[in-house]
Amino acid sequence: MDTLLNPPGFLAKKRARLLGIDCSLPILCLLVAIAMLAIALVLPLYSLLSKSLEDRHGQFVGLANFRAYVADPSLMHSITNSLWVASLTTLIVVSLALMTAFALTRSRMPGRGLLKVLVMGPIFAPSLLPAISMVYLFGNQGVLKDLLMGHSIYGPIGIVVSMSFWCFPHAVMILCTALENSDARLYESARALRTSPLRAFMTVTLPSIKYGLISAAFVVFTLAITDFGAPKVIGGQYNVLATDIYKQVIGLQNFQMGSVVSVILLLPAVLAFAVDRWVQRRQVALLTARAEPLRVKPHRARDWSLLLLCTPVAVVILGVLGMAVYASLVTFWPYNLDLSFNNYRFDLMDGGGWGAYFNSLQMAGWTAVIGTLVIFANAYLVEKVPGLGPLRTLVHLMAMVPLAVPGMVLGLSYIFFFNEPGNPLNGIYGTLAILVLCTIAHYYTVCHLTLVTALKQIDGEFEAVSASLKVPFYVTCWRVTLPVCLPALLEVALYLFVNALNTVSAVVFLYSSQTALASVAVLNMDDAGDIAPAAAMGVVLMLTCIGVKGLHWGLSRLLLGRSQCWRQARA
Amino acid sequence: MSESYLSIRRLHQVFGDFVALRDISLDIREGEFVCFLGPSGCGKTTLLRAVAGLQLQTGGDIFQAGQRISWLPPEQRDFGIVFQSYALFPNLNVADNIAYGLRNRRTGRSEVRARVAELLELIGLPDAGKKYPSQLSGGQQQRVALARAIATRPGLLLLDEPLSALDARVRVHLRHEIKELQRRLGVTTIMVTHDQEEALAMADRIVVMNHGCIEQVGTPQQIYAEPASAFVASFVGTMNFLPAIRIGEGRVRIGERTLNCRTLSPHGNGEVRVAIRPEDVRTRYNGDASNLISARVRGLEFLGAFVRSELEIDGVDEPLVADFSANDVRDLGIEAGNVLNLDLPAQRLHLFEH
Ligand SMILES: Nc1ncnc2c1ncn2[C@@H]1O[C@H](COP(=O)(O)OP(=O)(O)OP(=O)(O)O)[C@@H](O)[C@H]1O
Ligand SMILES: [Mg+2]
């Protein structure tokens, strides 16, 4: 038996095969991928965690910082504040999103196309913009101030409303997907059994989108509890965890306490992440069954009542974004309502001026290009290169981490890791490179999952076929895999670009005077009281994103029309 | 080993503590069409992938054309492969798919074009070059995959369940085409299948596998008529198994009757299983009355060309299934409830250990 399993020379041969040219390239690539993810993610987080256990002089002090945190009632109060605000936001967003998604996917409501476009609006602006808009609508000199009946917009009300606005598109997208994937045959059976529409909704629709609902709830909760823009602009004296980190680090230079708050902010995010992963796995199993696509027939009463319900949603979205645009054009609110482009003369204000905008464009461009290529390479290694089991699992696990790490936490951990004098990568501190690195790491997971899904849909035997035809795997990757994945690649590039342009939370700790960013400029101008220019910069970012989305749309059509004609080929 | 083109020696494959292939040795001659046949999960694909080098075996050796290829990566072996899913590149048209392996070999453009045209002609799709795979039917895609695999004139063609994704009619049609093509090209071919009919119709030799072991290697006729084990007997075709007692050289007792059987059977006395195929049970006998047995007809099932009957032998619990021609049924007036005298020819009785 022994000689059977290990014939003479077997081990040597096997090792030679494993280390031969054909195998060493992928292994090398995987090791590089692991090293990159370690540097961009794992090591910084590790230094953050260790910082929370040290005093100002770097001495290990155990849980002393956490005890100090618990002893401070104003800090502790932020925990309940954060939970309250995030829960309320989740409730509001998910119920409104469910209604909207239902109208978009399950009705023939007039104006569906327009609503679909409108709903995505908030995604194209930084989360600061709706908050600024709230100030103009409901602030001390706001046009609709009386609607609040004496309550102040500065505080939980403002945070919840602005945050709901900003999280809304994410929930709608998830729920639309869930609703689109339902099986028509279930509804036909329900109708055959003369089930009332309400009962059909409760017994068929709700159960089938259960996982979508849970997933949407957790995604919104995570976004809300980790968001920094809205509470910063409109939170007033109402402290939440995300603003506490900022205050401790930027205001008080208390890095230890900043890291303690970060660790606390990690907990709900990690929990939400774990639940979401669990749900996703369940949902995949649910969808593998072959289902009949649903064809919605017109139904007057339903379609018109949904229109009645959805009109306010559309009006609010238009109103909030429109208010921001209007405010940015008003010469001097509220005394001189003449329209002008005065607020767009950013070079006259602090915050970096138009230079910051071009920095942002550059940063977002690099993030989109480098990020898409690197994430694709890693996803390809994980999904398509045979063997190397444990290494691939490791890369995959590391790729999932960013989803659970709030931007503030990531940014702070970058300070600790890259600003360490002993770190050989210290040189990138304060450059555009660290902003790009941090942003790619921050938004890594969704891109990774998108590309892995795209790669999974490709026949698993392509690599084997090319090996038998003696074509190296990278040729097949170039000639077949990449072209087939092109739509997903463009999707990922757009996602990275839009997020890089709008992100505040991570980069707010990392920019330098040479690398000021537009999104951070919005924050700083607002902080300095230049609210109108802040709104103007936010509008510029939003218009840029909409422009890029248009470009993406055109490019996709062009490419699909030309090199991808095989997709429509099916007769 | 001199005359065999591909030899597998004591091949072993373990996944964790699951043994997928157990000590497999096999010789395949040049130009031969061999089928790996067996139930799902018996290790057919694993064996094929080991031959291709797509999966490293745990132990054992593989020789191809006299060269030891055991540890060579797939790029350095000489084979073409067709998968169940076809694995055609969706973004390349049919011509580019077929030319995929040619382009890499520094073949001239015109040469490539000529070869592609020749192959398209060969698979009967001369005008399909500009089409994309999604514009072809399943059977056409399968033929393109085949053309791509043989384009580089490999010494060995590997087919992993190439027909199982097709509907029954196309399958039968393509079966003949593949076999014909293989004969014309003379390429040594291994095909994996779990469809016994396919294996019987196409193979020069069949390798029947079960639980990671080879149960029998033989021509279709041998596999069918002389199954080496009870597993082969039951897996290929239909087979009756009747409990019996062996009472000496060439004699068994079934129920109350003692019958002659062939002598190449297990030694010793005691409980055995006698096996006979439904079509080997005869209603008319000529001369030799020694293997007659009487049975009552329990039921008849009309299956078109023949009638399948379920019979009951006194003292035996298991029913005996026998096929009679429609003429027999009419001429002899066979119907449910009748008692028949049946001949179980000694030459057709197989004995297996209990
Ligand atoms: N990479 C692997 N890791 C672990 N187990 C494996 C692996 N590949 C195959 N097996 C196991 O080895 C056994 C044989 O698999 P194989 O694919 O060869 O079966 P098969 O005979 O081709 O079956 P089928 O007709 O279903 O294709 C199965 O039980 C399978 O689960
Ligand atoms: Mg198989």
Mean pLDDT of all residues in chain B? 89
Q: Whose CA is nearest to atom 22 of ligand 1?
A: B45
Mean pLDDT of all residues in chain A? 84
Kindly tell me if the per-residue pLDDT of A551 is higher than 80.
yes
* Average pLDDT of the segment spanning A143-156: 83
Q: Whose CA is nearest to atom 27 of ligand 1?
A: B40
* Average pLDDT of the segment spanning A81-99: 94
Amino acid at A363: M
HEC profile for A312-333?
Answer: HHHHHHHHHHHHHHHHHHEEEC
pLDDT of residue B286: 61
Q: How far apart are CA A216 and CA A234, in angstroms?
A: 25
* B125 min Cα distance to partner chain A (Å): 18
Q: How far apart are CA B354 and CA B351, in angstroms?
A: 9
Kindly tell me if the per-residue pLDDT of A9 is higher than 60.
no
Asked if A203 and A122 touch (Cβ cutoff 8 Å), the reply is: no
Can you list the domains of chain A with their CATH numbers? 22-46+348-565 (1.10.3720.10), 61-335 (1.10.3720.10)
Q: Whose CA is nearest to atom 31 of ligand 1?
A: B41
pLDDT of residue B104: 65
Count Cβ atoms below 10 Å from residue B188 Cβ, excluding itself: 23
Q: How far apart are CA B222 and CA A376, in angstroms?
A: 53
pLDDT of residue A300: 86
- Greater confidence, A558 or A89? A89
Q: Contact A566/B93, CB-based, under 8 Å?
A: yes
Kindly tell me if the per-residue pLDDT of A5 is higher than 90.
no
- Greater confidence, B266 or A182? A182
Kindly tell me if the per-residue pLDDT of A401 is higher than 80.
yes
Q: How far apart are CA A332 and CA B176, in angstroms?
A: 85
Q: Contact A6/B93, CB-based, under 8 Å?
A: no
Q: Contact B135/A17, CB-based, under 8 Å?
A: no
Long-range contacts of B175-178 (CB under 8 A, 24+ apart): B175/B201, B175/B202, B177/B124, B177/B143, B178/B146, B178/B202
Kindly tell me if the per-residue pLDDT of B268 is higher than 80.
no
B218-235 confidence digits (pLDDT tens): 999 999 999 999 999 999
Amino acid at A132: I
Kindly tell me if the per-residue pLDDT of A284 is higher than 70.
no
* A212 min Cα distance to partner chain B (Å): 32
Instruction: Report the share of chain B in percent with pLDDT over 90.
Output: 56
Q: Whose CA is nearest to atom 25 of ligand 1?
A: B40
Nearest to A452 by CA among A280, A211, A274: A280
Helix (H) or strand (E) holding B171: helix B168-185
Question: What tokens does B131 get?
Answer: 């089409």
pLDDT of residue A289: 42
Which residues from chain A sit within 8 angstroms of residue B87, using beta carbons?
Answer: 459, 461-462, 464-465
Q: Contact A461/B101, CB-based, under 8 Å?
A: no
Ligand 2 (ion): residues with CB under 5 Å are: B 45
| From A267-281, A530-544, B147-161, B247-261, the region with the lowest mean pLDDT | A267-281
Kindly tell me if the per-residue pLDDT of B51 is higher than 90.
yes
pLDDT of residue A58: 79
For A343-355, the DSSP string reads GG-GGGSSS-HHH
For the CA of B37, the nearest ligand: 1
Kindly tell me if the per-residue pLDDT of A17 is higher than 60.
no
| From A176-185, A290-299, B184-193, the region with the lowest mean pLDDT | A290-299
C-alpha separations of B161 from A34, A440, A467, B40, B177 in Å? 38, 43, 19, 11, 15
Kindly tell me if the per-residue pLDDT of A67 is higher than 80.
yes
* Average pLDDT of the segment spanning A477-492: 89
* Average pLDDT of the segment spanning B286-294: 75
- Greater confidence, A345 or A25? A345
* Average pLDDT of the segment spanning A256-270: 87
Reported ipTM: 0.79
Confidence band of A283 (pLDDT split at 50, 70, 90): low
In three-state secondary structure terms, B298 is strand
Reported pTM? 0.81
Q: Contact B58/A5, CB-based, under 8 Å?
A: yes
Kindly tell me if the per-residue pLDDT of A212 is higher than 90.
no
Dihedral sign of CA atoms A494, A498, A500, A501 in order: positive
pLDDT of residue A7: 41
Distance B312 CA to ligand 1 centre (A): 40
Question: What tokens does B143 get?
Answer: 């033929």
**Interface of chain A against chain B, CB under 8 Å?**
4-7, 10, 13-14, 16-17, 20, 22-23, 386, 459, 461-462, 464-472, 475, 479-480, 483-484, 563-567, 569-571
Kindly tell me if the per-residue pLDDT of B212 is higher than 90.
yes
For the CA of B194, the nearest ligand: 1
Q: Whose CA is nearest to atom 11 of ligand 1?
A: B20
Kindly tell me if the per-residue pLDDT of A332 is higher than 80.
no
In the sheet that holds B188-193, the strands lie side by side as B80-82, B156-160, B188-193, B33-37, B205-210, B213-218
Question: What tokens does A308 get?
Answer: 């009645």
Radius of gyration over every alpha carbon of chain B, rounded to an integer in angstroms: 25
Question: What tokens does B107 get?
Answer: 């073949």
pLDDT of residue B187: 95
Confidence band of A2 (pLDDT split at 50, 70, 90): very low
In the sheet that holds B59-64, the strands lie side by side as B18-29, B4-15, B59-64, B67-68
Quote the strand ranges of A23-175, DSSP E: none
Q: How far apart are CA A498 and CA A536, in angstroms?
A: 17
Interface test with B, best of A23, A469, A565 (most B CBs within 10 A): A469
Q: Contact A465/B81, CB-based, under 8 Å?
A: yes
Confidence band of A571 (pLDDT split at 50, 70, 90): very low
State which ligand 1 atom lies nearest to the alpha carbon of B36: 21
Q: Dihedral, CA atoms, B285, B290, B291, B295, nearest 10 degrees?
A: 80
Confidence band of A1 (pLDDT split at 50, 70, 90): very low
B147-205 confidence digits (pLDDT tens): 999 999 999 999 999 988 888 888 888 899 899 999 999 999 999 998 999 999 999 99
For B85-122, the DSSP string reads T----TTS-HHHHHHHHHHTTT--HHHHHHHHHHHHHH
pLDDT of residue B19: 94
* A456 min Cα distance to partner chain B (Å): 13
Asked if A220 and A171 touch (Cβ cutoff 8 Å), the reply is: yes
C-alpha separations of B227 from B209, B216, B231, B351, B352 in Å? 13, 8, 8, 10, 10
Instruction: Report the share of chain B in percent with pLDDT over 70.
Output: 95
Distance B39 CA to ligand 2 centre (A): 9
